[in-house]
Amino acid sequence: MPSSFSLQLERFNPTTDATTYLAIANGANCPRQPQTPPPTAARRLVIPFPPSLSSSNGGTLVLDTLSLHHAHMVGPNQCCSVATQTISAPISAVWPVVRRFENPQGYKNFVKSCHVITGENITVGAVREVRVVSGLPAESSTERLEILDDERHVISFSVVGGDHRLRNYRSVTTLHSVDGDRTLVIESYVVDVPQGNTKEETCFFVDTIVRCNLQSLGQIAENTIRNNSEQ
């Protein structure tokens, strides 16, 4: 990797870099939200979800999913966080966009291109190389598919290489039906804290990206439903 690029990534500025991400995200509205202190051991993250789920069987299913997928082992030099998005579209409109491991740019504004380097079949263990848009403090990311569960609507990937500083990143995204016609998306992650940055800076930086992605996902799914209803 060229020395100039190494210097560029020596330390990311959470405020400046997040602002750059927002500017590039095609005007997406990605406001800063309060941060949840990252856990220091494996535990269930505190995730707000619609009250209608908390008192129903759906709420039980969500809690079971949280215990199974959103409880991360967090080391002393790692941070962990979670973001949620309620989308006014059923899972049948949201999941086809989320599950496309070979096409993250379908809703992730900061991804320029993606190339699956382990063959055409998208199964657990598949590896993709993602190139990000220019102007960001990164160039590429090599990512492995860890979970793809079409029945339970769960997808997970881990970062195994690339030109960036977010090492040992693992993300889990789950979808949950709300009243049949809406979808609750939960995305959690764990990642190493880069040298020279704090846990709070790292979480803010990554949270900004994740929340922008989820808002973009919501817009795409809702537009699909709207367009279909007008035809």
In a domain? residue 47: no
pLDDT for residue 36:
46
CB 84, CB 213: distance < 8 Å = no
| Structural domain count of the chain | 1
Looking at residues 41-56, what average pLDDT do you find? 48
- pTM to 2 decimal places: 0.77
Looking at residues 3-20, what average pLDDT do you find? 40
Provide the domain limits for residue 201.
3-31+76-230
CB 145, CB 171: distance < 8 Å = no
**pLDDT higher at 189 or 52:** 189
pLDDT, tens digit, 9 for 90 and up, residues 103-149: 999 999 989 999 999 867 899 999 999 998 876 667 899 999 999 99
Indicate which CATH number applies to the domain containing 202: 3.30.530.20
Residue 211 Cα distances to 33, 81, 115, 149, 189, angstroms: 9, 11, 24, 22, 12
**For residue 77, what is the enclosing H or E element?**
none
pLDDT for residue 231:
67
In a domain? residue 61: no
Examine the pLDDT at 52 and tell me if it is beyond 60: no
